[in-house]
Chain A
Amino acid sequence: MVTYIDIFTGFLGSGKTSLINEVLKNSMEFNERVAVIQRETGEKEVDKEFINNENVLLKKFKKDESIRIKDIMVILNEFLPNRMIIEENGISDLRDLLNVLDKFQVRKHCVINSIVNVIDCRNFDSLMSIVGQNMITNILYSDLIVLNYSDKILLHKFKDLKKEIRAINKYGKILNISTPKDFTEYEGIKNSRFKQKNKKKNPGDKLSIILLIFAMIYLSFTIMRFIKSEGVVFDISKLQIISTIFTSILIEAFPFLLIGVFISSIIQVVITREMIIKYFPKSKILSFIVASLGGLLFPVCDCAIVPVATRLIKKGVPMYAAVTFLLAAPIVNPIVIASTIYAFQGQKLIVALRIGIGIIVAILTGIIFMIFPEDEKTIFTGFDNYTCNCIYCSGYDVSKIGIWDKIVIVFRHAGEEFLNSGRFLVIGALIASISQTFIPQDIFFKSTNKEILFILIMMAAGFVLSLCSSSDAFIARSFARQIPIVSVLGFLVLGPMADIKNMLMLSGSFKKRFIIKLFFIVFNLIFSILCFTKVVFF
């Protein structure tokens, strides 16, 4: 027999016990045996009618007493409940309880059915400022977040609150109720094993549908190939080209992205905000120099820089310096410089101009961000700028964990971050491969004779093609014959700084407004500097 565990967490007075009463009422209808473990007793008690019921076992713990495996095992073995409801207090870290429940002995008999976080809308903000981290962790781990007394606060405040919750927990269900009675209406509480059987949708459904689609596509392709060999002409070449280009961009970019997320993870685990504040140059001039040349230490391409720069801002590096680094590092780095020299052999001016303009644009953008600063609190899409919002690193103190744990976290975190930034890379590569297949490249060469327009066209090409900065020089060289060299520079400088791929990857952690502002400044700066360069050098 499997025992379903429901965990209720939330602060004193948020209405946990009232909700538990509603759940119990429902369970009794099904004649379930329910064990209730309370770590906190507020004003509200579990209803008398349930306490006296032989199917209900109530066990209370003191506030500072932690739940041990033994306690749970005793209840499981002696009472044999269908359901176990654990009422946690809101102050303690949910992970301590989960660690106990994850032990093999317990898992043999139990399944965690749901984690419910009850929040009193009226005092959320004030509690958040006091308890902070643990509250974030607990919300992060919840499946269902119940916003209690939602009609007691103003509508716009409620919307903000909901947004805030959503920023912490992206996937959990949010339910707003005005009194505990409303909870009865919620289908989820009837989610016992009896109800489960009657449910039409089972968890595998979504998955099997997707697998079915994949299988059908595969089948149809096999048939198509068969038909083709029979002599019937069927043109799938465009799709094949898209697929090949798409895959090749990913093959090329994944190793670099992996390097980037590893560096980012190491920074996350090893370097603390205090260290950044202590060692990062106080002098603004010096910090610009460090930021613009920092890329020399990261021999990677632009897709690796995005996670590193984002991490640096989160760790407390000033915005302007991080922006300078983000823009300069993809150009001022050993691999990119080497490949540019190689591609443009004997044309040192091109190499020098690429690096020079790159640094100038990066620093100027940094200065603009210094003069017109963005509020760091508002530019991130996540909830808390200062912690990583992934499950591996919310709430631990890097200085207190051992070396081995640090290594484990570096790898797990790198995996998580790879998936998070990588998905934008996948989307970017898909867009780039489709646009490459359907937009003939001679648009870039034949459309005009005006040099100024050429600069814009090549900048657009750099943006759309989303090439890896370690290799774009070779491509640029193939353009170099047909078009003026200044516009080739536009391609070489803008491509690494701002392209579709980077834009999507940045959107993983920054708000749209910030990305648009950044790209707008970069576009304009590069364009004006190139026009200037044209007059001076060519």
Chain B
Amino acid sequence: MKTMRKHRINIEIIFKLIVFLGFSVFFIILIKTGNVKKYVHPRIIPYMKFAVAGFIAISLFTIGEIFRTKGPGMNLKKYILFLIPLFLSFVIPPKTAVLSSSVIKGNGVNGINYGSDYKDNTNSKSDDTIDITADDTTTDDDTTTNGTNSDVSQNNGDVSADENNIAGTGEDYGSEQLKIEGNNIIVDDSNFAPWIMELYYDVEKYEGKNIEMVGFVYKDDESLKENEFVVARLMMVCCAADMQPVGIVCQYDKTSELKSEEWVKVKGILETYDFAGEKNPIIKVESIEPTDKPKEEIVYPY
């Protein structure tokens, strides 16, 4: 303590400024480079901007104290603690798809089934779930009817019944991006998450349609058969802490020729299989071609 006071500049204040400005700079760099998306969902960005403003304001008000010989001693540890995350994120780049495969392995394939709705669960259970089921049915019916009405009025009844339903349930998830061209379901960057949810929610509606989707090859010996792989993408709901691979199981005879984590474009026919009493989607692969890694590796639902 004694020795600390010997300096004309207050070291504690310097450390404070390093922490606050350090995090400001870190946040700004993350936002500018776009790396922020590897850590958190883009909707956090406005909050980060607020934090940058707050940190800088605090620094400005603190800077005036730099020449004061004050402070009842200091605890260097406190500041070092804050420098650890700054240092770590500087030294260790955020994990990429390749690395997160170990997360997949650690977590089993639960992630693969993600996106399906718990409604299936309650429906498949017995009658003691009356409350929720009843509630759901009414809302579902409402939206479907609404969707049908609006669509019919807009398109003069020119659309098939199937597509009306799609519009209806699409609204249910707050997205109208579910794209269908003729008999082809096209899953691209913009609608990956909504499609996965929709397909796990009500796959029977789409059975037999052609499907085209891009993702990386995910293999798992424990839960998948030899001729199966998953065309998957990483989905981040909130932050890196909850990142999971999600996708649809594909049946492909030459699965062994595919490399794990390779990016592919899969074309095939959508079918269903039974899993724990529920119908889950599966793609019978017709053609497969390697493709580039998309610009946005991670998909963000909601």
Q: Which residues of A contact B (CB under 8 A)?
A: 98, 101-102, 104, 107, 111-114, 140-144, 169-173, 188, 191, 196, 202-203, 206-207, 210, 214, 217-218, 221, 236-241, 243-252, 254-256, 258-259, 262, 342-343, 345-350, 391, 408, 411-412, 414-415, 418-420, 422-423, 426-427, 429-430, 432-433, 436-437, 440-442, 445-446, 465, 467-468, 471, 474-475, 477-478, 480-482, 485, 488, 537-538
B240 to chain A: closest CB distance in Å?
4
Instruction: Give complex CA distance A218, B139 in Å.
Output: 56
B82 & A98 in contact (Cβ 8 Å cutoff): no
A478 & B244 in contact (Cβ 8 Å cutoff): yes
Task: Tell me, yes or no, whether B33 is within 8 Å of chain A by CB.
Answer: no
A244 & B240 in contact (Cβ 8 Å cutoff): yes
Task: Tell me, yes or no, whether B132 is within 8 Å of chain A by CB.
Answer: yes
Task: Tell me, yes or no, whether B3 is within 8 Å of chain A by CB.
Answer: yes
B107 & A255 in contact (Cβ 8 Å cutoff): no
| CB 8 Å contact bits of B258-302 with A (1 = contact, 0 = none) | 000000000000000000000000000000000000000000011
A to B contact number (C-beta, < 8 Å): 262
Q: List 26 A-B contacts (CB under 8 A).
A: A113-B5, A143-B1, A143-B5, A143-B73, A170-B73, A171-B72, A171-B74, A173-B1, A202-B3, A203-B4, A206-B76, A210-B80, A237-B95, A248-B39, A252-B238, A258-B51, A259-B50, A420-B78, A423-B81, A465-B241, A467-B238, A467-B241, A468-B238, A478-B242, A538-B128, A538-B131
A191 & B91 in contact (Cβ 8 Å cutoff): no
Q: Of B108-116, B155-163, B184-192, which stretch is located at the interface?
A: B108-116
Interface size class for chain B? 35 or more
- With A237-B102, A349-B131, A436-B241 given, is the CB distance from A255 to B50 under 8 Å? yes
Q: Of B61-69, B207-215, B225-233, which stretch is located at the interface?
A: B61-69
Q: Cβ of B4: which chain A residues have Cβ within 8 Å of it? A: 203
Q: Cβ of A249: which chain B residues have Cβ within 8 Å of it? A: 239, 241
Instruction: Give complex CA distance A141, B71 in Å.
Output: 6
B256 to chain A: closest CB distance in Å?
22
Q: Report B9-67 residues with CB < 8 Å from chain A CB.
A: 16, 19-20, 23, 27, 30, 36, 38-41, 44, 47-48, 50-51, 54-55, 57-62, 65, 67
B132 & A239 in contact (Cβ 8 Å cutoff): no
A243 & B88 in contact (Cβ 8 Å cutoff): yes
B99 & A241 in contact (Cβ 8 Å cutoff): yes
* In the complex, residue of chain A having the shortest beta-carbon distance to the beta carbon of B19: A419
| CB 8 Å contact bits of B80-116 with A (1 = contact, 0 = none) | 1111110111011111000110110011101001101
Given contacts A251-B239, A255-B51, A442-B110, 13 further A-B contacts (CB under 8 A): A144-B1, A169-B72, A203-B7, A246-B85, A247-B39, A345-B173, A349-B132, A349-B135, A412-B65, A419-B16, A423-B78, A426-B85, A474-B302
A471 & B237 in contact (Cβ 8 Å cutoff): yes
Instruction: Give complex CA distance A196, B7 in Å.
Output: 13
* In the complex, residue of chain B having the shortest beta-carbon distance to the beta carbon of A414: B58
Q: Cβ of B172: which chain A residues have Cβ within 8 Å of it? A: 345-346
B36 & A241 in contact (Cβ 8 Å cutoff): no
Q: Cβ of B100: which chain A residues have Cβ within 8 Å of it? A: 241
B18 to chain A: closest CB distance in Å?
12
- With A170-B73, A243-B88, A251-B44 given, is the CB distance from A478 to B114 under 8 Å? yes
A475 to chain B: closest CB distance in Å?
5
Q: Cβ of B113: which chain A residues have Cβ within 8 Å of it? A: 481-482
- With A348-B135, A414-B58, A445-B110 given, is the CB distance from A98 to B70 under 8 Å? yes
Q: Cβ of A262: which chain B residues have Cβ within 8 Å of it? A: 54
A345 & B107 in contact (Cβ 8 Å cutoff): no
B47 & A111 in contact (Cβ 8 Å cutoff): no
B120 to chain A: closest CB distance in Å?
7
Instruction: Give complex CA distance A342, B94 in Å.
Output: 28
Q: Cβ of B183: which chain A residues have Cβ within 8 Å of it? A: none
Q: Cβ of B57: which chain A residues have Cβ within 8 Å of it? A: 411
A258 & B55 in contact (Cβ 8 Å cutoff): yes
A255 & B48 in contact (Cβ 8 Å cutoff): yes
Cβ-closest 4 pairs across A and B: A171-B73, A480-B118, A248-B240, A255-B47
B51 & A415 in contact (Cβ 8 Å cutoff): no
Instruction: Give complex CA distance A426, B23 in Å.
Output: 13
Q: Cβ of B254: which chain A residues have Cβ within 8 Å of it? A: none
Instruction: Give complex CA distance A344, B43 in Å.
Output: 19
- With A243-B88, A426-B85, A477-B118 given, is the CB distance from A433 to B136 under 8 Å? no
B73 & A412 in contact (Cβ 8 Å cutoff): no
Instruction: Give complex CA distance A348, B44 in Å.
Output: 26
Partner of A254, one of B51, B114, B241: B51
- With A98-B70, A172-B72, A475-B238 given, is the CB distance from A480 to B121 under 8 Å? yes
Task: Tell me, yes or no, whether B140 is within 8 Å of chain A by CB.
Answer: yes
Q: Cβ of B120: which chain A residues have Cβ within 8 Å of it? A: 481
A247 & B88 in contact (Cβ 8 Å cutoff): yes
Instruction: Give complex CA distance A419, B16 in Å.
Output: 8
Task: Tell me, yes or no, whether B174 is within 8 Å of chain A by CB.
Answer: yes
Q: Report B116-142 residues with CB < 8 Å from chain A CB.
A: 116-122, 128-129, 131-132, 135-136, 139-140
Task: Tell me, yes or no, whether B75 is within 8 Å of chain A by CB.
Answer: yes
Q: Cβ of A391: which chain B residues have Cβ within 8 Å of it? A: 70-72
* In the complex, residue of chain A having the shortest beta-carbon distance to the beta carbon of B76: A206
B107 & A440 in contact (Cβ 8 Å cutoff): yes
Q: Cβ of B85: which chain A residues have Cβ within 8 Å of it? A: 246-247, 250, 426, 429
A422 to chain B: closest CB distance in Å?
7
- With A240-B95, A345-B172, A442-B110 given, is the CB distance from A113 to B6 under 8 Å? yes
A347 & B73 in contact (Cβ 8 Å cutoff): no
B36 to chain A: closest CB distance in Å?
7
A411 & B38 in contact (Cβ 8 Å cutoff): no
- With A203-B4, A441-B110 given, is the CB distance from A254 to B91 under 8 Å? no
Q: Cβ of A252: which chain B residues have Cβ within 8 Å of it? A: 40, 44, 238-239
Instruction: Give complex CA distance A342, B301 in Å.
Output: 11
Instruction: Give complex CA distance A209, B124 in Å.
Output: 62
Q: Cβ of A419: which chain B residues have Cβ within 8 Å of it? A: 16, 19, 78-79, 82
Partner of B242, one of A218, A237, A474, A482: A474
Q: Cβ of A411: which chain B residues have Cβ within 8 Å of it? A: 57-58, 60-62
Instruction: Give complex CA distance A453, B139 in Å.
Output: 32
Instruction: Give complex CA distance A112, B302 in Å.
Output: 58
A415 & B91 in contact (Cβ 8 Å cutoff): no
Q: Cβ of B71: which chain A residues have Cβ within 8 Å of it? A: 391
* In the complex, residue of chain B having the shortest beta-carbon distance to the beta carbon of A114: B2
* In the complex, residue of chain A having the shortest beta-carbon distance to the beta carbon of B16: A415
| CB 8 Å contact bits of B144-175 with A (1 = contact, 0 = none) | 00000000000000000000000000001110
B68 & A102 in contact (Cβ 8 Å cutoff): yes
